Amino acid sequence: MPSGQRARAQASAITPGRQTPDAEPAPVERVRALFGGHRLSPGQRRIAQYITDNLTEAAFLSITDLADRVGVSQPSVTRFASSVGFSGYPALREALQPIALSAVAGSPEPGESHRNELQTAVDAEIANLESLRRRFADTGQVLEVGRELARSVPLTILGLRISTSLAEYFAYAARRIHPDVRLVSRGGSVAYDALLQSREAGGTWVLAFAMPRHAKETLSAVRAARRTGLRTALITDLTLGPLVDEVDVALTAGTGSRLVFDSYSAPGVLSAAILQAMVDADPERTQRRLEQYEHAAEQHDFFLED
């Protein structure tokens, strides 16, 4: 490994840490924390998603208005409140209102300069990255997932439809530091065959990517991985839903949704962090493989001179 690359690998090694007491979660994260850890029905997930997406309004709606906005019955809202640990809807609304007020307090003042659509999209991605930065205060989950993926030989990377680009990026980089990385970018029986072959070859883990719009074939592939005996880690924007329910570990990063097509700054950084954790899990193998790659790149003249 060239000295500069070796220094970078050492300098960026992840060290264990814990959430600092003064780190204040964002309002959306506080709402998700209220709903997380509960197994919800599809209708209840719709209510949770509506509240999360429309917090400053939803926290002050009557039960009738909330039911109408979501398209469910009033008893469904009451059952949802009970399912997430409250005595009823009034108690849930009472818990949501201070969070909503804090979100309003953090909003730009009316006199602030107007931002155009592209600036607003960038601002939203900055917020996603800030949220991810707060999660990284505790590196334990990332380090553990990196260790497990590094040990899985072969390692399968799954990404279908819009998620294929993230899966390809991860697989391309992982092949530099891992001896057997297999990319699955087609669903159906093709995906099942690949997952079964990976398990029969000794693989233990799959890393799956699921970005909006979330494909049914991704859920089918994740379930197929479980049937073959593979464990699954998922990088997604979801905190609730059937995909999260089916995997062993879910790592969440928000996507930019202000433009016609989503952007993936935070999922990209999260992917790079998992790769770094794989590097940290076996530094000797990493150094050996990177040195071999650099030798091949020089021998075959892969790259332009900077």
Domains along the sequence of the chain with CATH: 9-106 (1.10.10.10), 135-300 (3.40.50.10490)
Per-residue model confidence (pLDDT) at position 23: 53
Instruction: Compute the average pLDDT of residues 233-249.
Output: 92
Amino acid 183: pLDDT:
98
Position 189 pLDDT exceeds 80:
yes
pLDDT for the residue 241: 85
At 30, is the pLDDT very low, low, confident or very high (cuts 50, 70, 90)?
Answer: confident
Residue 24 pLDDT grade (very low, low, confident, very high; cuts 50, 70, 90): low
The reported pLDDT for the residue numbered 143 is 97
Q: Are β-strands 231-236 and 205-210 bridged in parallel, bridged antiparallel, or unpaired?
A: parallel
User: Closest by alpha carbon to 178, among 305, 31, 278?
Assistant: 278
The answer to whether residues 175 and 150 touch, using CB atoms and an 8 Å cutoff, is no
Of the candidates 221, 200, 195, the one whose C-alpha atom is nearest the C-alpha of residue 209 is 221
Check residues 12 and 174 and name the one with the higher pLDDT: 174
Q: How far apart are CA 234 and CA 163, in angstroms?
A: 12
pLDDT at 188 (0 to 100): 93
Structure tokens belonging to residue 104: 């309003």
pLDDT averaged over the chain?
A: 88
Write down the pLDDT at residue 131: 87
**Worst-scoring range by mean pLDDT, 64-68, 92-96, 238-242?**
238-242
Q: Residue 153: is it exposed, middle or buried by C-beta count within 10 angstroms (0-12/13-18/19+)?
A: middle
Mean pLDDT of the region 175-197: 96
pLDDT at 109: 47
Dist CA 225 CA 191 (whole Å) = 9
pLDDT at 107: 58
Which two structure tokens, joined as six digits, stand for 192? Answer: 């099942």
Q: Give the pLDDT of residue 36.
A: 75
- Number of Cβ atoms within 10 Å of the Cβ of 15: 7
Q: Would you state the pLDDT for residue 124?
A: 84
Q: What's the confidence (pLDDT) of residue 158?
A: 98
Dist. CA 257–CA 264, nearest whole Å:
9
pLDDT of 85-135, one tens digit each?
999 999 999 999 888 888 876 655 444 456 677 888 888 898 889 989 989
Cα–Cα distance between 101 and 56 in angstroms, integer?
7
pLDDT one-digit tens code per residue, 251-302: 999 998 878 888 999 999 999 999 999 999 999 999 999 999 999 999 999 9
- Is residue 198 scored above 60 in pLDDT? yes
Sole residue written with tokens 């990209």: 268
The three-state secondary structure class of 207 is strand
Please give the pLDDT value at position 49: 87
Residues 6+ apart with CB under 8 A from 215: 160, 161, 163, 187
| Residue that is written with structure tokens 């469910």 in the block | 72
Q: Are 150 and 282 in contact (CB under 8 A)?
A: yes
In this prediction, residue 3 carries a pLDDT of: 46
Please, is 289 exposed, middle or buried when counting C-beta atoms within 10 Å of its C-beta (0-12, 13-18, 19+)?
Answer: middle
Q: How far apart (Å, rounded) are the C-alpha atoms in residues 12 and 10?
A: 6
Outline where the chain has alpha helix (H): 3-11, 27-35, 42-53, 55-58, 63-70, 74-83, 89-105, 117-135, 140-151, 164-174, 188-200, 216-228, 242-246, 265-281, 283-300
Residue 266: exposure state from Cβ atoms within 10 A (0-12, 13-18, ≥19) = buried
pLDDT of 165: 96
Given a cut of 50, whether residue 59 has pLDDT beyond it is: yes
Q: What is the pLDDT of residue 28?
A: 83
